[in-house]
Structure 1
Amino acid sequence: MSDPDAVRAALSSGHDGVDVSRETLMRMARFADLLDAWSKRINLVAASTGGDFWMRHVADSAQLLRLKPDARHWSDLGSGGGFPGIVIAILLSETEGARVDLIESNRKKAAFLQTVRAACASCARVHPARIEDAVMRLPAPEVITARALAPLADLFSLAEPWLAAGASCLFHKGRGYADEVEESRAHWRFDLVVHDSVAAPDSVILDISQVRRAPNSH
């Protein structure tokens, strides 16, 4: 799974790919090897996407940096197998002042993330905690990410302290995103830009900012 050429091809996909150093490519390959080894013991990546790993998971995560290229502090909710959080941390590994908080309540998955952090993602910080607890004790990031975690309105509720502090969001969503957006507007107000995914034709990235509760919504 750890072919650097495959990494480079995946990260350069789309009209505005991510340019990375050879050292970063090798870190990404090391991550892939660890993911492959740990996936034999715990459920980290869906088997149905295994053959398309570099595009469906790595490039799908890496594209977020094109949308917020100046952000240095990211927080990934429900990091699981490390997408997008570990990928972002590896890509920012040579960036001064970068920090990526990985929040994962499952202890086995958190242990995997700790192993990856030690091996190839030094700017990551792993927090084995529930999201609602972590957001109360960690500083607000510039960008909040989440992939296949929860409906949009639930994500807003979980991250509300950070949103109140001005954090923006980049959320991966599938074909039903429009329904989630409509439902969330019953209780929330926000600015939204929808980006087509360069890696998954059936998904989008919701670029959300200025999130606040709707009047009289509790």
Structure 2
Amino acid sequence: MNTKNASDIGIDVSRETRERLERFASLFQKWASTINLIAPSTKGSLWHRHIADSAQIFRISPEAKHWLDLGSGGGFPGMITAILLAEKGEGWVDLVESNHKKASFLRMAIAETGARAAVHPIRIEEAQQKLLESDAISARALADLDQLLAFTEPWAKRNPLLQCYFHKGRDYRAEIDKARGRWSFDLVIHESAIEPDSVILELATIRRISQPASGAE
């Protein structure tokens, strides 16, 4: 797939949603010229590498109502999920992004697109105590799987039915093996339809089975 616009993101959407995505992409390009929202080498493939890639999470789990997106950065995948939820007229995404410039961009993007989301310019550790409920958690290019599970542990304890969706590259199996040393979880591996050698890891029933070594976290 070589996605160039909103007409080909792997999900059938309305004209209104395509227009929302195109408004987001236009705003993103303007802001990315002044602040570092994504790696400069991928700016030329915004639709393919970032928007369509992010949309895969919604395709996998369209029924989740309350999303928590950790380290939202330039809005991937959380803003894309929030725009797609706007078509359904229900559901919500809490975007956690501690960088205030990126948080400002996300606020503007929500206002421009009508995405069903709110921005929280706080660290993940603070969000663990302030944003208490979630049905599903997403993250992309944030941390290795072991650290991601440590981030999500408080929500998993509060909600045994929590689902997590993490984009991962070609080294994902090594990350899984490392995480298995400290965590128990159910796992489904979804091959990416966008990026070769990439996957989306779907995790549930997350439980810590051993404590980190002193000073490890």
Give me the whole-angstrom Cα distance separating, in 2, the residues matched to 1:82 and 1:193. 24
**Is 1:8 equivalent to 2:7 in the alignment?**
yes
**Equivalent in 79, 87, 92 of residue 85 of structure 2:** 92
The one-letter code sitting in structure 1 at the alignment partner of 2:64 is A
Q: How does 1:40-119 map to 2 (within 5 A)?
A: 40-119=33-112
Deviations 1:166-197 (A, max 9, x none): 31110000111111111111111001111111
Give me the whole-angstrom Cα distance separating, in 2, the residues matched to 1:103 and 1:195. 24
Q: How does 1:50-199 map to 2 (within 5 A)?
A: 50-164=43-157, 165-166=159-160, 167-199=162-194
Give me the whole-angstrom Cα distance separating, in 2, the residues matched to 1:66 and 1:123. 17
Deviations 1:10-56 (A, max 9, x none): x13xxxxx111101111101101111110111001222122222111
Please say if residues 197 and 204 of structure 1, whose CA atoms lie closer than 8 Å, have aligned partners that are also in contact: yes
Instruction: Tell me which residue corresponds to 1:212.
Output: 207
Deviations 1:62-119 (A, max 9, x none): 0111211211111110000000000110011132331001000000000000000111
Question: Offset of 1:158 from its aligned partner?
Answer: 1.2
Q: SS where residue 86 of structure 1 aligns?
A: helix
| Identical columns (%) | 50
Please say if residues 93 and 116 of structure 2, whose CA atoms lie closer than 8 Å, have aligned partners that are also in contact: yes
Give me the whole-angstrom Cα distance separating, in 2, the residues matched to 1:41 and 1:127. 22
Instruction: Tell me which residue corresponds to 2:215.
Output: none
Q: SS where residue 12 of structure 2 aligns?
A: coil
The one-letter code sitting in structure 2 at the alignment partner of 1:104 is E
The one-letter code sitting in structure 2 at the alignment partner of 1:116 is A
Instruction: Tell me which residue corresponds to 1:15.
Output: none
Aligned residues: 208
Give me the whole-angstrom Cα distance separating, in 1, the residues matched to 2:79 and 2:191. 22
**Equivalent in 10, 34, 41 of residue 27 of structure 2:** 34
Give me the whole-angstrom Cα distance separating, in 2, the residues matched to 1:187 and 1:97. 36
The one-letter code sitting in structure 1 at the alignment partner of 2:98 is S
Give me the whole-angstrom Cα distance separating, in 2, the residues matched to 1:185 and 1:137. 28
Q: 1:121 to 1:203 in 2, by over 3 A?
A: farther
Question: Offset of 1:163 from its aligned partner?
Answer: 1.3
**Is 1:202 equivalent to 2:201 in the alignment?**
no
Give me the whole-angstrom Cα distance separating, in 2, the residues matched to 1:27 and 1:127. 22
Give me the whole-angstrom Cα distance separating, in 1, the residues matched to 2:5 and 2:72. 23
Give me the whole-angstrom Cα distance separating, in 1, the residues matched to 2:131 and 2:67. 11
Q: SS where residue 159 of structure 1 aligns?
A: helix
Deviations 1:117-176 (A, max 9, x none): 111143111000001111211132111000010011111111211111231110000111
Question: Offset of 1:217 from its aligned partner?
Answer: 3.0
Give me the whole-angstrom Cα distance separating, in 2, the residues matched to 1:96 and 1:52. 29
Question: Offset of 1:5 from its aligned partner?
Answer: 7.4
Q: TM-score, normalised by structure 2?
A: 0.92
